[in-house]
Each structure stands twice: as structure tokens, then as C-alpha cells.
């Protein structure tokens, strides 16, 4: 399990993914290195979630390769991907409504791959003051924004090296969405790599090092935020905004 410092945490090479007869991803490449924050963008149905599921081993690619810290995904069970330090916060919210905020967080707790326990209950509560105020509330009593915070908090409790967020701000009031962006910034500053899927390219490019745009399952743009911001016509063309 030794890893050289610059070996990618996630490496997707020429991946094709199908759902039955529907060919969704067409030869996608994506590399995530230590400490990098990557924006993954594209209109509805372009394959963003499918790519994330493929990385997590929830959907098996029909071609190409995925390596997680140098391990071929084909030889890993789904739960092993998470054990390799990749935390996935899917679209929608996966919390336990019948458990309290505290219980939800504590049951997710585990050290990172190298034994790190940087993210403790205390640190997560410092990061999410709203959760601290609702520690003994049941998950089902939380607002949508608080549930999203709890889902991210649970992911941090696993001390991941990579955090994958799929539409974390979707449907949230602007003030709450801003809070999520603030947290993304803190996560980035803490050295955790992330892949952030979000429709708001202006917010995304404020915190990402690199951005990837998918159109119909193909990467049509890959570049840093400055480069993307300097090409508003490309944003309009590919993201329709």
C-alpha cells in the first residue's frame, strides 16, 4: 500500500460506461492529485453523476480503467473504495432520520488510511456551527441545508483524502448555499482533495484548481478556473448559462 507522493489519488483513463444499451460515458479521462480541488460541470444528463458512480465502483465501466491510489478498481469491492480514503456525498441526502445529529456523525467516525484522526466530532461541529446547535435533534427534524451539512460532516468524519460532492447546493436557499461554499473552502484549505459537481460555475471556479466540462459523456474542456472564466462563450456553449 505504499504510494509515491505524486501518484494520483484517482485516475480515470478512457472510461466508457453503459446503462444497458445506453452508452453514457465515451472515453473519459480524469486525474485527481493530492490536494487538488476539481470542478465537474455540465448540463443535466451529461454524465456527471455516472462518472462519480463509476469512480466509486457503483457502476462498472464497460471499457477503460479506473485506479484509486494505484489500485485497479476492477479488483476492488465498492466498500473498499471508501476504505481507500474516497468519501462520496451523493445527490440527495443520505442521513439516518431516526438518529440524532451526534449519532449520525459518530457512527461514521474512523481514522484515515494513514491513521489520521484530524476530523473529530469537535472539529466537524466547529466547521458546522448549525449542527452544533442541533446536536440532539433527529436527522428528520433538520432543514434541507442542515441535512446536507450533516451528510458532508459524516463524510469528513471518515478522514478522507478525497471528498466527492454531487450537487451539494442543489435546491438550497442562497444563504445556506453560501455556507456550503464556505465549508468547501475550509475543506480545500485542510488539504483534502475534492471533486465538486455543481451547476453554479461562478462559485465552482472560485474554489477549484481545475475544471472539467462534460457534454454527452465526453470531456469538452479541461483547464484552470482563470482559463475558463476568460472564455465566457465556452461557458455559454457548454453549460447553457
Ligand X SMILES: Nc1ncnc2c1ncn2[C@@H]1O[C@H](COP(=O)(O)OP(=O)(O)OP(=O)(O)O)[C@@H](O)[C@H]1O
45 touching ligand X, by CB under 6 A:
yes
Q: What is the DSSP letter of 128?
A: -
Q: Of 19 and 122, which CB lies nearer to ligand X in the complex structure?
A: 19
Query: In whole angstroms, what is the distance from residue 217 CA to residue 28 CA?
Result: 7
Among 17, 37, 49, 225, binds Mg ion (CB under 5 A): 49
Q: How far is the CB of 28 from ligand X (least distance, A)?
A: 11
2 lies in the binding site for ligand X (CB under 6 A) = no
* Min separation Cβ 152 and ligand X, Å: 18
Instruction: From 26-34, 46-54, 148-156, 226-234, give the range in contact with ligand X by CB under 6 A.
Output: 46-54
Q: Please, which contacts does 106-110 make with residues 24 or more away whose CB atoms are closer than 8 Å?
A: 106/157, 108/154, 108/155, 108/157, 108/158, 109/157, 109/158, 110/157, 110/158, 110/159
Site stretch for ligand X (CB under 6 A), options 39-47, 63-71, 77-85, 185-193: 39-47
Task: Let me know: does 70 contact 118? Beta carbons within 8 Å.
Answer: no
If one counts every other C-beta atom within 10 angstroms of the C-beta of residue 18, the result is 15
Q: Which one of residues 1, 2, 5, 19 is an interface residue with ligand X (CB under 6 A)?
A: 19
204 lies in the site for ligand X, by CB under 6 A = no
Per the CB < 8 A criterion, the answer to whether 32 and 38 are in contact is: yes
Question: Candidates 17-25, 116-124, 171-179, 231-239 — which segment interacts with ligand X by CB under 6 A?
Answer: 17-25
CB of 53 to ligand X, least distance (A): 8
DSSP E strand boundaries for the chain:
10-19, 22-32, 37-41, 63-68, 71-72, 86-89, 162-166, 193-197, 210-215, 218-223
Residues in contact with ligand X by CB under 6 A are: 19, 22, 24, 42, 44-50
Residues in contact with Mg ion by CB under 5 A are: 48-49
Amino acid at each position: 500500500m505504499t504510494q509515491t507522493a505524486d501518484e494520483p489519488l484517482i485516475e480515470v483513463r478512457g472510461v466508457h460506461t453503459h446503462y444497458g444499451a445506453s452508452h453514457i460515458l465515451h472515453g473519459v479521462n480524469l486525474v485527481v492529485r493530492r490536494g487538488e480541488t476539481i470542478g465537474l460541470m455540465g448540463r443535466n444528463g451529461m454524465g456527471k453523476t455516472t462518472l462519480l458512480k463509476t469512480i466509486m465502483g457503483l457502476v462498472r465501466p464497460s471499457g477503460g480503467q479506473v485506479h484509486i491510489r494505484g489500485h485497479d478498481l476492477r479488483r476492488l469491492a465498492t466498500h473498499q473504495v471508501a476504505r481507500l480514503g474516497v468519501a462520496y456525498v451523493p445527490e440527495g441526502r443520505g442521513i439516518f432520520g431516526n438518529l440524532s445529529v451526534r449519532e449520525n456523525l459518530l457512527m461514521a467516525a474512523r481514522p484515515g488510511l494513514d491513521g489520521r484522526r484530524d476530523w473529530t466530532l469537535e472539529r466537524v461541529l466547529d466547521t458546522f456551527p448549525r449542527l452544533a446547535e442541533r446536536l440532539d435533534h433527529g436527522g428528520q427534524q433538520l432543514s434541507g441545508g442542515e441535512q446536507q451539512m450533516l451528510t458532508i460532516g459524516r463524510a469528513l468524519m471518515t478522514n478522507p483524502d478525497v471528498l466527492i460532492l454531487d450537487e451539494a447546493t442543489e435546491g438550497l436557499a442562497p444563504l445556506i448555499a453560501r455556507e456550503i461554499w464556505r465549508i468547501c473552502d475550509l475543506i480545500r484549505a485542510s488539504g483534502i482533495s475534492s471533486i465538486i459537481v455543481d451547476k453554479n460555475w461562478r462559485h465552482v471556479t472560485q474554489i477549484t484548481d481545475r475544471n472539467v466540462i462534460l457534454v454527452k459523456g465526453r470531456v469538452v474542456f479541461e483547464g484552470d478556473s482563470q482559463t475558463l472564466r476568460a472564455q465566457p462563450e465556452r461557458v455559454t456553449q457548454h453549460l447553457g448559462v
